[in-house]
Structure 1
Amino acid sequence: VFLPGIVVVLGTIWTLGLMSLLGFRLSVVSVMVPPLVLALGSSYSIHVLNQYYRSARVHTEDKMWIAASVAHINRTISLAALTTIIGFVSLVSGTLPQVREFGLATSFGIFFCGLLSLFLFPAVVPLLKPPTARERDRVLEGHLSRSLQTYSQWVVKGRYVILAFLILVALVFGLLLPRVHYQTDYTAYQKKSESAIDDYLYSTRTFGGFVFLYITLTAPEGESNYFLRPKVLQRIARFEEVLEQDQDISYLSSFSAYIRFMNQTMTGKRTIPERRAPILLLSRYFRSIAVSPGNRQFAEALVNQDFSRLTLTLRVYNSETNKPMDEKRMNALIERLTDRMQRLLDADTQPVLWGDSLAYLSISEILSRDQIKSVLVSLVLILAVTTVAFRSIKLGLFSLIPIFTGIMLTISIMTLVKIPFDVVTVMFTSVAIGVGIDDSIHLIIQYRHQQGNIAQALSMAGRPILLTSASLIAGLLVLLLSSFLPVVYFGLLISLVLVTTTLGALIILPAILSLSS
């Protein structure tokens, strides 16, 4: 019982040490590495233990049967570890550095656990008390093994019903796929009970947000004092008046706005003066504000020294929810601003819309692109590995069917319950491919060992498949305790996809193998 724990603890310690040597820092993504290594690494020891009890020889001093039992299972463990590593390594093809580090670190952890299961485990087991005949028989002919033999007959008889269910899952997935959405609002990453989020949302409601956009205008050919011309400033003022009507713009600051304010103070009219002389006077008053270093920086952010470049500052938020803008609403605002810039501003001033928040508008596109890329990489590599291992392209493709079924079911469910893809949950498909393929590999290897006898293959492989899946799911559910919602969703999605891929390996894959034979 303690040996699997020793294996995964050592593997996790080695992984954290290697992360430190490589300069990886714990982030909201890489913080999942230790629990994942602990959970995923235990499955290899369970496979070795299962074979150890199956091959147990009682009343003998010869320990060579232990080496034979490990040799019998080492191919399954090696393939399972390799495919899991491929699933995580495929994340290295992504754009975000935190995701790449997470994929690489977890891959090393899986490698260490697989290595320890094949070498440390067999070295320690001979020092322990050998299994009794009763313990061996419980594994060979226990209630679970007998139930699997009975159930295998139902799978073969109901293979057409199972195939129809698979087609139905694919149709539902196709209908729900367009409804998948990506979450880029970082305030939604925390639980609602977090006081910091409550304080931030309160401040957003009170001050109208903390997200800024900027519109910079440049004089034609860099002409000095261009933005002191009355007609130029009046046109900019009309543009600003239109922007002030937009409910999502809570604050607007510019040189033109200050000129109007100062003119109102002096004349009672909040307009741009018709003549150049008053504008020159007001501009000098404006420059007098910039005497202190702090005010100078503020003034120069609005207009440069020779009045050849002018910048408008906009503070924006979601006026309907009083929260920061999500990507969809920000894109709509950008479209409105771009349209108004083209209609109301002089094209010769080369208006440019910019701001740090615009960089986040491509996050969904990056996440979607990285997801597709990593999934394709993992699928191609895993198909190549399984095809070579089984010496059959057909069996290699069959091994992927439970994976596709599990991913389609999981994405359909997450769409229905409105769980979004984000920087963390977007990784679950690649991880699911690498982890979920293990059950298919184990069953197909037993299927070939039993020369196509599905009932016997399920009897031999079903027990370790169920035990390892239960162990993995139990280990991954610890992620639900996180206060960071993407980590909670990731643990939930991986657990759900493991349930569905396990059922796929024990129900759908045998039915497909039966149909093919």
Structure 2
Amino acid sequence: SWTGIFLPLFVVAFSIMWTFGLMAWLELSVPIIGGLIPIMLIAIANNYGIHIISHYYEYTVLDKELSRGVILRRTMNRLGMPIFLAGATTIVSFMSLMSHELPKVREIGLLVSFGIAVAFLLSLFLIPSILILVPRPAYLSKRGSMLAVNEFLVSWGRFFSKYRVPFLVILFIGMFWFSLGIRDITIDTVPEHFFPKDSKIRIASQVISRAFGGSTQLNILIEGDIYDPDVLSHIDKLTDHIKKQNASVTSTYSITDVVKKMHFAFHNGNYDSLKIPNDRELIVQYMFLYSLTGDEDDFNLILDDPDEPSFTQVFIRIGEVHTEELMALVDDTEDYIHAHYYDNRPIKPMLAGPAAMLGAVSHLVVRGQIISLAYASIIIFVIMSIVFRSLVGGILATLPMSLSVLLIFGLLGNFGIPLNMTTSLLTCILVGVGVDYSVHFLWHLREHIREGNTMEDAIANTMKVSGKGILFNGISVVVGFSVLMYSVFMPLKAFSVLIMASIAFCLIGGLAILPAMVSLVDPKFLYE
């Protein structure tokens, strides 16, 4: 059906265009992870349209004599609340990113939430308006239309309902084993690792690391009376501590190196004189003599004013860069500063430069991931519990999503895929899609039970209608994102693999775990 293909794509395209239009209207720049906005919208925004069209076609097959208007009203009566809940919970999951400490991640959360809201509204109003105008596909009137798919889904649901205990035991044992990989999750926010190992920019960085001691550095801004011997001694102690405690540091350069070498030279190369002199006036004279014979621009990199400096800069050169080592370096340096200069005397050191920013971003990525995931999970659990008027209903609705999050973090650790700003957005998709599938399954299962179906028949009927929409949506997203595996931008490549795994986990949650759980628990809220 061309209608079934193009209507969801039309909604996705409009949501993407309007989202980038909002970005331009708000004068927001596109961040390095901004390319993920259309990817996330494609993964989520087509859900609502696919469910509407799937139910519309299924109800047509059940009673071919009814008019398009009657079928459409039945579809929207059945789907209105589940789609509203799916859209609301997905928007909540992305709005939870507003709690993130990184401004660009907050912007991503706001923009994707807007795009999902657009897709939600277009799916509710535009798609039904077009469906009522165009004729239904001819294949729907044929006997046995989609029979093979229906039989597969019904058999699938009955299999997991029948063997629910062994399936759930094996599932939870496997998940426990797989989740042990969470301990091995690594963090990587180094930009050069965004490129393949054979890329020119990465090869050049490796050459610089081997030949020149590294292409990344930590800058330390020092405020104080720079020519004071005590101040220079503390700067020297700080750089010595950094070199001794961090094997990744290849070299340091500061004003103390200049002063010690001049003092060494004026004492005929006596090794004992390779130190900071105790006389401030002598240090001033050394610097004055240097200014007479050297270039006056020689100190532009390390002093704000060669005559009366109040700020100086220390350069810490770092070898081959790994995020864990950068974080350890930055944390150790900050701990040393807080322990020795908590009152900003005699010096006031402040960290800056690429290494400091990468270290800070790494901490923010981890902290933001935990906080946003916690907010989204708690809020969605509360919403689901209120909607189903049952804590058990809230647990069942969020269980597939929770297990999928656990599995994806286990995947990160077991396969060595690093956590960065790109992969940290995956949990929002997992929460959004996982709850979407759960809501549709549980809502329609409850309706079939209220109509007098037994649990077995209700699961079978739910799989034929809601299960079909879930399956088609999941397969279309997985196949669509498989092309990104050929991207040369490593975060995007990793993201494509993870998003396919995420959707696969959500499919298992919606079409296998939920049928097994509800048939095992037989929750009361389904009958109320």
TM-score range, shorter chain: 0.7 to 0.9
CA distance in 2, matches of 1:402, 1:179: 23
1:30·1:101 contact (CA, 8 Å) conserved in 2? no
TM superposition shift of 1:483: 3.3
TM-score scaled by length of structure 2: 0.83
**Correspondence 1:475 to 2:451:** no
CA distance in 1, matches of 2:463, 2:376: 27
Q: Relative to 1, partners in 2 of residues 1:515 and 1:480: Cα closer, same or farther, differing over 3 Å?
A: same
Deviations 1:342-380 (A, max 9, x none): 99xxx9744746333334333333222211111121112
Deviations 1:267-325 (A, max 9, x none): 24453488969766533312325764x33534635x86357x6857333213xxxx235
User: Equivalent residue of 1:212, what SS?
Assistant: strand
Q: Relative to 1, partners in 2 of residues 1:188 and 1:148: Cα closer, same or farther, differing over 3 Å?
A: same
CA distance in 2, matches of 1:137, 1:153: 24
Mean Cα deviation higher: 52-61 or 87-96: 52-61
CA distance in 1, matches of 2:178, 2:410: 6
1:287·1:299 contact (CA, 8 Å) conserved in 2? no
TM superposition shift of 1:512: 0.9
1:211·1:316 contact (CA, 8 Å) conserved in 2? yes
Matches within 5 A, 1:224-239: 226-227=228-229
Q: State the one-letter code of the partner of 1:6.
A: F
**Correspondence 1:426 to 2:424:** yes
Q: Relative to 1, partners in 2 of residues 1:283 and 1:110: Cα closer, same or farther, differing over 3 Å?
A: closer
CA distance in 2, matches of 1:99, 1:365: 14
1:184·1:363 contact (CA, 8 Å) conserved in 2? yes
Structure 1 segments unaligned to the other structure (5+ residues): none
Matches within 5 A, 1:184-223: 184-209=189-214, 210-214=216-220, 216=222, 218=224
TM superposition shift of 1:480: 3.3
**Correspondence 1:3 to 2:7:** yes
CA distance in 1, matches of 2:143, 2:421: 48
**Residue 412 of structure 1 aligns with which residue?**
410
CA distance in 1, matches of 2:243, 2:73: 78
2:97·2:109 contact (CA, 8 Å) conserved in 1? yes
CA distance in 1, matches of 2:461, 2:255: 82
Q: Relative to 1, partners in 2 of residues 1:81 and 1:241: Cα closer, same or farther, differing over 3 Å?
A: closer
1:263·1:269 contact (CA, 8 Å) conserved in 2? no
CA distance in 2, matches of 1:25, 1:502: 35
**Residue 286 of structure 2 aligns with which residue?**
282
**Residue 326 of structure 1 aligns with which residue?**
323
CA distance in 2, matches of 1:306, 1:5: 66
CA distance in 2, matches of 1:126, 1:367: 47
Mean Cα deviation higher: 439-448 or 204-213: 204-213
2:323·2:358 contact (CA, 8 Å) conserved in 1? no
Deviations 1:418-447 (A, max 9, x none): 111111111211321112111111111121
TM-score scaled by length of structure 1: 0.85
TM superposition shift of 1:166: 3.5
CA distance in 2, matches of 1:365, 1:483: 27
Structure 2 segments unaligned to the other structure (5+ residues): 450-454, 523-528
**Residue 503 of structure 1 aligns with which residue?**
508
**Correspondence 1:313 to 2:328:** no
Mean Cα deviation higher: 329-338 or 283-292: 329-338
TM superposition shift of 1:145: 0.7
Q: CA RMSD in A?
A: 3.4
User: Equivalent residue of 2:132, what SS?
Assistant: helix
Q: Relative to 1, partners in 2 of residues 1:249 and 1:103: Cα closer, same or farther, differing over 3 Å?
A: closer
CA distance in 2, matches of 1:86, 1:497: 19
Q: Relative to 1, partners in 2 of residues 1:383 and 1:137: Cα closer, same or farther, differing over 3 Å?
A: farther
Mean Cα deviation higher: 504-513 or 243-252: 243-252
Q: Relative to 1, partners in 2 of residues 1:400 and 1:258: Cα closer, same or farther, differing over 3 Å?
A: same
**Residue 452 of structure 2 aligns with which residue?**
none
Matches within 5 A, 1:12-23: 12-23=16-27
Q: State the one-letter code of the partner of 2:462.
A: A
Q: State the one-letter code of the partner of 1:439.
A: Y
User: Equivalent residue of 2:443, what SS?
Assistant: helix
**Residue 394 of structure 2 aligns with which residue?**
396
Match 1:164 to one of 162, 169, 175: 169
Match 1:26 to one of 9, 23, 30: 30
**Residue 513 of structure 1 aligns with which residue?**
518
Match 1:72 to one of 74, 78, 90: 78
1:185·1:324 contact (CA, 8 Å) conserved in 2? yes
